[in-house]
Chains A and B, each alone.
Chain A
């Protein structure tokens, strides 16, 4: 690679483009560039020609036409007269919702299972192995479809809650498990602050913003308390007990705010065909969420197990020799090292989960593939535009996720000299 050629004796010969290392790399690059560009040009020209022949030039204006179909789960306001673009946005938010919640649940389950696989309890370790192998070796599409079927068959219908002697009843009169989904109590405010529009795209609840602001302020206060405790410890050697202060700083303002806003819970109630009120988690969402999480958790469990095994025993012994207590050993010695091993594969599992969420199509969860690449595509007949747009959006999501986690990975990475 790094061989240096003698300067050529005579004039420039054509064969130098290949034999002379000074020119060769340039030759290869230019040939590649020409090749790739002509390939792209060829594909583009074909598309242009074919679409012209069909009389369907690329045209994104359909995005602003009324979508004419309804979506059941929407995080922002939408009705069938809104545009295809807004339907796609609703789908995108649904994708993000299931991806984020899926990553959280998969991590929790994955870490627990990964640790339990190393448990000294023979039965538990075996059962966890069976779980991991069963989920890793069967296609996720099958799991999603099966999860949906189990929810539908195993849980009672809303009809069963009716009558004097119902076949099913609500948990604590607040939570209803039905085969259409789960109904949870919802937070309501009697003295609500209202909502503000966000660039006309969606409305943000001011109550939520206020709560978040109070929480954030509480967090800052807790950090200040922690720093003060540190100073005192540095000066005197004694760390003052601060947990009740921290708890108060966080909880009190929140409780006061909730009381001011008139917080109460709205319970779901059986009305007509369905339950009304409360938060409604649809079957399709739960099935997709559970199946994706459990599937990915099986992979995460293996990663976690590998990470823990990779830390040599000497590390915890050394920590003990330094006089660190077990929880500090875990927090300061084991975890940072295990995370170094765990995080890079974990990122790719998160990416996989996000991409697999596109299998929502199997259970009718209206995510981005269900809206933009599903119904919008079928109703408008714009395959090229819809599929390309969907790919670009997924690409953007993936790049953002891997970007963010890679930044984090850089921070926890072992600094090598």
Chain B
């Protein structure tokens, strides 16, 4: 008898998935307990996390916020939770909060650093988010002068006249250009230098005498806390961008001498630890200057940090330049653009766009490294924590300050690194 092949004519109803593979149970099975090794890892990890949290959470949350000294803190903790409990004494953060953020900046003028910070965000916005109108970049360019004036104070003429130096340079370029190019370059370099060194001081004083507009000067040894970290970090990155781009171009060029100097500078700076450069700033920079030149430690640190980050920025920009297809260079040449035109119109806009994530991570690194200035006696958050502990009321406090400082650094750096990732994703889609 021939077998009739059995063919089902009607689809069966779909069975519901087994309970173990849907819902929370299924999720856990898939993601936490898939196989013995995986389960073991989950259990161990859970154990470690639970152990850490069981120690950390009571310390963080069963803590004292209101006290005037460590002794009072300890007393309150002993009374509230018993002598066995060790809780944090956040009262120190509460009492010294302003100091940890602004250092010794005069309390009456706190709006100045605040405004500077807000304006910094405004100035950064067009650089960081390409969707904004390009006009805003004008403000970004003017911002360093405005920010410096707001922080350090002094007559309003100083930043204006310093800016006018660039106008003088343009004037020199144009006037000299009528005669010949050598004169144009010479005038564009020499005139502004003369302006800044010779004219600016007396003219500024004259204008201030005529129209005394300005802010109360605040000296930079009043700066401290996180403000000093942000000021050093931001100034160094801003100032190092042009220098870094020049160094990157210098490293790429065919000109042997220029290339050698660029490579030597970059490799030297990248080869030594930042702390040695800071030692140079704190102990040696005076030896390198003409006798009597004397500018304060924060400015010296900014100079060294600028040189430091310039070398790193140069490498990042070099990466951006290298990532550009060769066709872009050739296309620029074939259009008859000269070197600087090509750089300005074709190469740099693309290379810098590629380099922005790298620049942001250089900045994160530099911002974290500003904690090193505590070693040379600047009262950044870590330096201040030592100074606070030298106050007899808080002598002996340890973890709370570091925990607070670490937390604030984490907030800053984490949000910046998220931004950098967002940017990378955006750039990646552009290329694929």
Residues of A within 8 A of B (CB): 1-3, 14-15, 17-19, 25, 28-30, 32-33, 36, 43, 46-47, 49-51, 53, 119-124, 127, 133-134, 136-142, 145-146, 149, 351, 355-356, 358-359, 361-362, 369, 373, 383-384, 387, 390-391, 394-395, 398-399
Q: Which residue of B lies closest to A116 (CB)?
A: B41
Given contacts A123-B42, A138-B368, is CB(A29)–CB(B256) below 8 Å? yes
Other-chain contact of A149, B185, B268, B398, B412 (Cβ < 8 Å): B398
How far apart are the CA atoms of A140 and B34 in the complex, in Å? 36
Mask: chain B, 384-425; 1 = CB below 8 Å from A; 0 = not: 000000000000001100100110011011100100000000
B280 touches A32 (CB 8 A): no
B219 neighbours in A (Cβ, 8 Å): none
A376: min CB distance to chain B, Å:
13
B272 touches A398 (CB 8 A): yes
B254 touches A137 (CB 8 A): no
How far apart are the CA atoms of A394 and B398 in the complex, in Å? 32
Given contacts A14-B182, A50-B286, A387-B279, is CB(A29)–CB(B258) below 8 Å? yes
B3 neighbours in A (Cβ, 8 Å): none
B405: min CB distance to chain A, Å:
7
B290 touches A46 (CB 8 A): yes
Closest 10 CB pairs of A and B: A398-B271, A122-B31, A137-B413, A355-B273, A358-B273, A139-B368, A395-B271, A29-B257, A139-B371, A383-B283
B371 touches A351 (CB 8 A): no
A123 touches B276 (CB 8 A): no
Residues of A contacting B: mostly = helix
B274 touches A18 (CB 8 A): no
Residues of B within 8 A of A (CB): 30-32, 34, 38, 41-42, 45-46, 49, 180-182, 185, 254-258, 261, 267-268, 270-276, 279-280, 283-284, 286-291, 329, 333, 339, 364, 368-369, 371-372, 374-375, 382, 398-399, 402, 405-406, 409-410, 412-414, 417
Please list 8 pairs of residues, one from A and one from B, whose beta carbons are closer than 8 Å in the complex, sorted by A's number: A15-B180, A29-B255, A43-B288, A137-B414, A138-B368, A142-B409, A351-B270, A387-B284
B180 touches A361 (CB 8 A): no
B32 touches A47 (CB 8 A): no
Given contacts A15-B182, A32-B257, A149-B398, is CB(A120)–CB(B275) below 8 Å? no
B339 touches A123 (CB 8 A): no
B45 touches A138 (CB 8 A): no
B181, B254, B272, most chain A CB atoms within 10 A: B272
B49: min CB distance to chain A, Å:
6
A134 neighbours in B (Cβ, 8 Å): 410
A139 touches B409 (CB 8 A): yes
Other-chain contact of A394, B276, B283, B412 (Cβ < 8 Å): B276
A205: min CB distance to chain B, Å:
32
How far apart are the CA atoms of A2 and B334 in the complex, in Å? 10
A121 touches B32 (CB 8 A): yes
Q: Which residue of B lies closest to A360 (CB)?
A: B275
B25: min CB distance to chain A, Å:
14
How far apart are the CA atoms of A149 and B256 in the complex, in Å? 51
Known pairs A120-B38, A133-B414 / 9 extra A-B pairs, C-beta < 8 Å: A47-B287, A136-B417, A137-B368, A138-B409, A142-B382, A358-B275, A361-B375, A391-B276, A398-B271
B369 touches A139 (CB 8 A): yes
Q: Which residue of B lies closest to A142 (CB)?
A: B406
A142 neighbours in B (Cβ, 8 Å): 371, 382, 402, 405-406, 409
A395 neighbours in B (Cβ, 8 Å): 268, 271-272
A47 touches B288 (CB 8 A): yes
How far apart are the CA atoms of A155 and B102 in the complex, in Å? 37
B30 neighbours in A (Cβ, 8 Å): 120
How far apart are the CA atoms of A183 and B405 in the complex, in Å? 33
Given contacts A136-B413, A391-B272, is CB(A1)–CB(B333) below 8 Å? yes
A18 touches B181 (CB 8 A): yes
A383 neighbours in B (Cβ, 8 Å): 279, 283-284
A41: min CB distance to chain B, Å:
12
How far apart are the CA atoms of A17 and B182 in the complex, in Å? 8
B402 touches A145 (CB 8 A): yes
A46 neighbours in B (Cβ, 8 Å): 287-291
Q: Which residue of A lies closest to B265 (CB)?
A: A36
B275 touches A32 (CB 8 A): no
B275 neighbours in A (Cβ, 8 Å): 358-359, 361, 369
A355 touches B274 (CB 8 A): yes
Q: Which residue of A lies closest to B414 (CB)?
A: A137
B290 neighbours in A (Cβ, 8 Å): 46
How far apart are the CA atoms of A15 and B184 in the complex, in Å? 11
A49 touches B291 (CB 8 A): yes
Given contacts A138-B406, A142-B371, A149-B399, is CB(A387)–CB(B287) below 8 Å? no
A390 neighbours in B (Cβ, 8 Å): 276, 279
A17 neighbours in B (Cβ, 8 Å): 182
B402 neighbours in A (Cβ, 8 Å): 142, 145-146, 149
How far apart are the CA atoms of A125 and B219 in the complex, in Å? 49
Q: Which residue of B lies closest to A356 (CB)?
A: B273
A121 neighbours in B (Cβ, 8 Å): 31-32, 34, 38, 41-42
B279 touches A373 (CB 8 A): yes
